[in-house]
Amino acid sequence: MTTRIDTRFAALKREGRAGLVTFVSAGDPDPKTSLAILKALPAAGADVIELGMPFSDPMSDGPTIQASSQRALKHGQTLAGTLDLVRAFRESDDATPIVLMGYFNPIYVHGVDRFLAEAKAAGVDGLIVVDLPPEEDDELCVPAVAAGINFVRLVTPTTDAKRMPAVLANTSGFIYYVSITGVTGTAKPDFSAVGRAVAAIRAKTPLPIAVGFGVRSADDAAAIAQGADAVVVGSALVAAIKSSLDQNDAATPGTVDAAAGLVRQLAGGVRSARRPAAE
């Protein structure tokens, strides 16, 4: 079954460039503004959207994304509300892939079968669930793939050769390589080390490889795009949204433009790293 993610990465390969994957938290800073930001991202240059599912205990996220989750939760964002956001986005965009990223607990509480059916119907294309290891694939990964939703797995600098086959076994859509150890948004990647890691992963899988964590600028994005199939930007984008808010963390007239403006810069960096187009 071909998903929007498969279609988008095939198109990027034909164009001879890397893609830009942008992360925002659903409902941040409020549901209405969050939808406006989502709708603005593709036109600004986002090729794939990662949409965070706000959770009260986001253990893998740095302080910037944790704060965005808290802002969303404060405004009543729920898992059902996140699916509503995707559904509303799909009313005007049926092409841009959306990957939900988060933790298993809200999905488990919602009910796995119910969640997958509703996510598919809403227009979700992929899942990244950071606290479900390969040993738990039967919980969500295998049912998701059966439902036509890609299950994207994280590979980290500490994933060794012995562990790699298990990580890759049921992964689909793309591989997300975490360029640094630790939580999101807390360090700058070593670009030469990232290039070597991407090459090593590429030797083991035909899936596209997206690289994230620590990408803050157009120059960072261009450096990553030299070797990766996509560049993921999250904390920098969430920080741009935060910087546009008023003292009460409420949206201002400049909030959507703050997000879109940074995405345009990052997209320019990604697109500056041209590679030969596929035949």
Tell me the catalytic residues.
50, 61
Q: Which residues of 120-139 are buried (b: 16+ CB within 10 A; e: fewer)?
A: eebbbbbbbbbebeeeebeb
